[in-house]
């Protein structure tokens, strides 16, 4: 079986050793993502020549990956199940049944003849290249898988681990915790030959849903808003609100390229100084902050460069907005454990005018708008304005406004994910190609910088790269 330079060697269903049947309800934090496209991420690792030979890799290393994954699932039982929504339940839930032959995590073992060093380059390349390294996440009207994994060998070079996760079960923090837990146990099994190493306490997930209190009756509001939006976007699905099939947010691959750009700590300091030097001009009635966060600066700078690149190629595209999610774990009253496993994020739109992204002073305007939302959340709480998000999205979409999104975070520490062969050579959020989304990650060299992943039309990417690099050369 071969497709896109990929040969599939094995397909496993990996199950935890547990025989415990569990049911985990979804909360109002999860419902919004019920039919959202999977979050797809790929990790690239180099291997010594001796270990990257196919016979050694498939016979010696794959069993380690498989057994460590099974051991990890023992700590993360819901991931081995599936999402269901029976007619007698008011909300969907995750169910794992050890006696159900369909439960377990799909694990593909593959081989690629692509040039490993080319695939991990940061410079623009075909957007479709990384797609062949990502597994399919199964979903139907009646159920949806939670996670699927593909391990791909690049002979004489290294391997990749591609992971597709269902967003209604895992937010970014949760999925990163799972991957780090698997990497930790795999590393221990390889280095110490232990068959059942103990997981670090800080990587143990907390699944108790009772800790999520619905004091603002958001479950009803968000569920109704979500169903209303789904009906507007997909009218043919009306009357089938319990459908669990993931919606067709197809990847943008035709004439598109994928690239990664870096903002060093020095770059961020320079942008911080530039924005704050004119802060009073735009904010006469507010005190100037001492510093702007790396998140504010990275998003603002990247987005205005994208908007202006679009304007140069497609002149009719001038109206933009930006929405991002906030991790609510530490911001709820009372706060919930940092290791809470599930979605605990809420989305917010920034208050810009649609043309602000392409104005001469766009960096200041957009930075200020992102900063204001973060400040508002700190002062008024994470639920402030949440009821207006759906209405705002509908209004902006009807006006032809292009909506930017963001995936990942520089706080997840994805480059700390060591399966036994050191830090990844590269980490990509492949699913940013399903929308106008920037992917954020910590810098590989650990110096406090940020990596920005993008998938854009090739001409737009050329203009973006020029704007991005030129802007950083300004003192």
135-188 per-position pLDDT tens digit = 999 999 999 999 999 999 999 999 999 999 999 999 999 999 999 999 999 999
Choice between 391 and 80, residue whose per-residue pLDDT is larger: 80
Cβ atoms 414, 427 nearer than 8 A: yes
- The position carrying tokens 């650990």 is 446
What's the rounded Cα separation, in Å, for the pair 317 and 308?
A: 9
Residue 2 has pLDDT above 50, yes or no: no
Residue 42 has pLDDT above 80, yes or no: yes
Helix axes 218-233, 389-398, angle to 10 degrees: 20
Q: Does domain 256-473 have CATH number 3.30.559.10?
A: yes
Query: In the numeric block, which tokens belong to residue 457?
Result: 């039309």
Residue 1 has pLDDT above 50, yes or no: no
Residue 437: helix, strand or coil by DSSP? strand
How many residues in total does the chain contain? 475
Query: In the numeric block, which tokens belong to residue 52?
Result: 């990257």
DSSP state, 319? -
Half-sphere exposure of residue 193: CA atoms within 13 angstroms, side-chain side:
0
Query: Quick one: which of 284, 312, 261, 283 has its CA closest to 457?
Result: 312
Residues catalogued as catalytic: 167, 418
Least-confidence region, from 220-234, 287-301, 326-340, 454-468: 220-234
Q: What is the pLDDT of residue 64?
A: 96
As annotated, the residues of the chain forming the CATH 3.30.559.10 domain(s) are 2-237, 256-473
Please give the C-alpha separations between residue 293 and each of 63, 411, 473, in angstroms, as whole numbers. 43, 12, 21
Cβ neighbours of residue 266 under 8 Å, at least 6 residues apart? none
Least-confidence region, from 63-67, 225-229, 309-313, 375-379: 225-229
Residue 465 has pLDDT above 60, yes or no: yes
- Percent of the chain having pLDDT more than 90? 79
* Mean pLDDT of the region 30-58: 94
Residue 92 has pLDDT above 60, yes or no: yes
Least-confidence region, from 29-38, 213-222, 245-254, 348-357: 213-222
Q: What are phi and psi of 385, to 5 degrees?
A: 80, 0
* Mean pLDDT of the region 364-386: 92
Cβ neighbours of residue 191 under 8 Å, at least 6 residues apart? 420
Cβ atoms 368, 278 nearer than 8 A: no
* Mean pLDDT of the region 327-345: 94
* Mean pLDDT of the region 43-57: 95
Residue 241 has pLDDT above 90, yes or no: no
- Tell me the whole-structure pTM to 2 decimals: 0.95
Please give the C-alpha separations between residue 368 and each of 114, 275, 365, 453, in angstroms, as whole numbers. 43, 9, 5, 23
Q: What is the pLDDT of residue 3?
A: 46
Please give the C-alpha separations between residue 110 and each of 72, 145, 151, 155, 376, in angstroms, as whole numbers. 21, 20, 6, 11, 47
CATH architecture assignment, domain 2-237: 2-Layer Sandwich (3.30)
Choice between 224 and 461, residue whose per-residue pLDDT is larger: 461
127-161: string of b/e by CB count within 10 Å (b at 16+)?
Answer: bebbbbbbbebbbeeebbbbbbbbbbbbbebbbbb
Residue 132 has pLDDT above 50, yes or no: yes
What's the rounded Cα separation, in Å, for the pair 260 and 130?
A: 13
Query: In the numeric block, which tokens belong to residue 365?
Result: 């305007």
Residue 320: helix, strand or coil by DSSP? strand
Choice between 398 and 62, residue whose per-residue pLDDT is larger: 62
């Amino acid at each position: 079986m071969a497709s896109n330079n990929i040969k599939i060697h094995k397909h496993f269903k990996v199950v935890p050793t547990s025989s415990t049947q569990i049911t985990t309800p979804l909360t109002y934090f999860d419902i919004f993502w019920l039919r959202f496209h999977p979050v797809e991420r790929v990790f690239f690792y180099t291997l010594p020549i001796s270990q990257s030979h196919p016979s050694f890799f498939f016979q010696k290393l794959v069993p380690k990956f498989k057994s460590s994954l099974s051991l990890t699932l023992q700590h993360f039982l819901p991931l081995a199940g599936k999402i269901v929504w029976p007619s007698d339940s008011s909300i969907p839930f995750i169910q794992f049944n050890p006696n159900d032959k369909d439960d377990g995590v799909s694990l593909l073992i593959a081989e690629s003849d692509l040039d490993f060093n080319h695939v991990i380059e940061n410079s623009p390349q075909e957007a479709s290249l990384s797609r062949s390294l990502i597994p399919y996440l199964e979903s139907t009207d009646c159920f949806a898988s939670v996670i699927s994994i593909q391990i791909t060998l690049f002979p004489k070079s290294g391997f990749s681990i591609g992971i597709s996760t269902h967003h209604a079960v895992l937010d970014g923090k949760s999925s990163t915790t799972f991957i780090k837990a698997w990497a930790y146990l795999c590393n221990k099994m390889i280095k110490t030959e232990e068959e059942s190493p103990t997981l670090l306490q800080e990587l143990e997930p907390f699944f108790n849903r009772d800790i999520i209190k619905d004091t603002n009756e958001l479950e009803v509001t968000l569920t109704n808003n979500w169903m209303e939006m789904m009906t507007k976007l997909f009218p043919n699905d009306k009357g089938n609100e319990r459908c669990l099939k993931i919606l067709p947010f197809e990847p943008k691959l035709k004439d598109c390229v994928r690239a990664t750009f870096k903002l060093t700590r020095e770059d961020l300091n320079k942008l911080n100084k530039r924005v704050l030097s004119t802060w009073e001009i735009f904010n006469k009635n507010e005190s100037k902050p001492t510093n702007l966060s790396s998140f504010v600066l990275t998003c603002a700078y990247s987005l205005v460069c994208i908007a202006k690149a679009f304007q140069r190629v497609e002149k009719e595209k001038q109206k933009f907005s930006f929405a991002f999610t906030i991790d609510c774990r530490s911001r709820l009253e009372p706060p919930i454990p940092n290791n809470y496993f599930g979605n605990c994020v809420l989305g917010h739109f920034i208050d810009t005018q649609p043309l602000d992204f392409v104005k001469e002073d766009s960096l200041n305007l957009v930075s200020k708008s992102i900063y204001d939302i973060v400040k508002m959340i700190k002062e008024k709480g994470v639920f402030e304005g949440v009821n207006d998000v759906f209405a705002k999205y509908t209004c902006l979409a009807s006006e032809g406004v292009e909506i930017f999104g963001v995936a990942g975070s520089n706080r997840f520490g994805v480059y700390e994910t060591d399966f036994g062969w050191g830090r990844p050579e590269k980490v990509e959020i492949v699913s940013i190609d399903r929308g106008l989304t920037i992917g954020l990650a910590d810098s590989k060299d650990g110096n406090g910088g940020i990596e920005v992943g993008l998938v854009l039309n090739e001409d737009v990417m050329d203009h973006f790269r020029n704007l991005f690099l030129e802007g950083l050369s300004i003192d």
